[in-house]
Every structure is written in C-alpha cells, then in structure tokens.
Amino acid sequence: KADSLIIGGGMCFTFLAAQGLSVGSSLLEEGMVDTCRKLLDTYADVLHLPVDIVVAEKFAADSPPETVSCDAIPDDKMGLDIGPESVKRFAALLSNAKTVFWNGPMGVFEFPAFSAGTKGVAEAIIAATGKGGFSVVGGGDSAAAVRQLGLPDDGFSHISTGGGASLEYLEGKTLPGISVLES
C-alpha cells in the first residue's frame, strides 16, 4: 500500500511508452509496456512519472546533456536522468512523507552530468527524514549513489544493499536469512 509511487530511472521509459510517448533510444522493456499501461489505468492517482528528462546521444560521461519534456524525447537520444521539473515535483510529493522506501537511482548518477535527479530526490528524502519520516534506501545502486554523491548516511533511517530482497520482504515473502534467525 502506498499513497504515492514515484517512478524514475530506466523504469520510467517503459511507463512513458505505455502512455504512447516516444522514448527515443532510452532503456525500454517492450514486453512490459502492456503491464505498465494496465498499472497506469488502475493506479493513475498513485503513480507519478517524470515530466522532463535529461537526454544525450550516447551513454557516456562526456555526452552533452539536454533537458526535454517527456513528450519530446528525440528519436536519436536516450534518457539518462530525470529533469529539474521532475525533481521539483517529486520533492514536493516527498516533502511531508512519513515513510519512504527508495529503490533505484533516478538516472546515471555515476556521470556528473546525469546525477542531479538522483541527488535532488535523495535530498528530498533526507529532508522528509529530518522532519521525522522513516526512510529506507534499498539496493546497491541507491546505496552507492548516496555515498558517491556525498550525501550523509545518517540522513536516512536505514541503508541496505539488498534491494531485491527488500522488495521481496515488503511483498510479504519469507527471506531465508530472516527465517533462519526466527527459528
């Protein structure tokens, strides 16, 4: 159960394609477009997608970034980060959150030109945590982003490299390591 589900990073392009938008040469899971369409139809009031994307011609640190609207991604470019308007929108959603579970960066944070989305969303989570919210960073990439972007570990309630396992735990599955401790 969630009041809001923010979708950024590589996953957002399959959702944008499900809305009938062109995603250029961005990461896309063609086989999941119908599933994303159904999720958008069912949970339109809960799912939040980017409104702008930082694109480039190639996946490279030195590729010049350009910010475009989600409905104007050029065919010859790929999305590598969420844009500044998306960061503002997502930060507003997170501003009064009581519980935040973050799994996955908003962009290719390893490249400075494509790290602002991840940093902006992480800072919003830190702010919500500072107001008394509970935040979990789940996944190796998210944990690496916290450290690489110079964000304080203690700005989050908990950081785990077990992203997939964390999601399975939230899903209600029994995790082998936890079941051993419970016996």
Beta 158-160 vs 78-82: how paired, if at all? unpaired
DSSP codes joined into one string, 40-57: HHHSTTTEE--SEEEEES
pLDDT at 176 over 80: no
Domain annotation covers residue 139: yes
What CATH number corresponds to the domain at position 78?
A: 3.40.50.1260
DSSP codes joined into one string, 21-81: ---TTS---GGGHHHHHHHHHHSTTTEE--SEEEEESSSSTTSPPEEEEGGG--TT-EEEE
- Scanning 75-155, the segments in alpha helix (DSSP H) are 84-94, 116-130, 140-148
Domain ranges, residue 55 = 5-176
Domain annotation covers residue 53: yes
pLDDT at 163 over 90: no
Domain count, the chain: 1
pLDDT at 167 over 80: no
Domain annotation covers residue 181: no
Domain annotation covers residue 84: yes
* Residue at 134: amino acid letter: F
> Per mean pLDDT, which range of 5-9, 135-139, 146-150, 179-183 is the poorest?
179-183
Residue with the larger pLDDT of the pair 47 and 169: 47
Domain annotation covers residue 63: yes
Domain annotation covers residue 68: yes
Domain annotation covers residue 182: no
The span from the CA of 100 to the CA of 105, in Å, is 14
Here the tokens at position 151 are 């964000």
17: pLDDT confidence band, cut at 50, 70 and 90?
Answer: very high
Domain annotation covers residue 27: yes
Q: What is the pLDDT of residue 178?
A: 78
pTM above 0.95, yes or no: no
Q: What is the pLDDT of residue 157?
A: 95
Q: What is the pLDDT of residues 85-106, one digit of tens each?
A: 999 999 999 999 999 999 999 9
Dihedral in degrees, nearest 10, Cα atoms 178, 138, 6, 113: -170
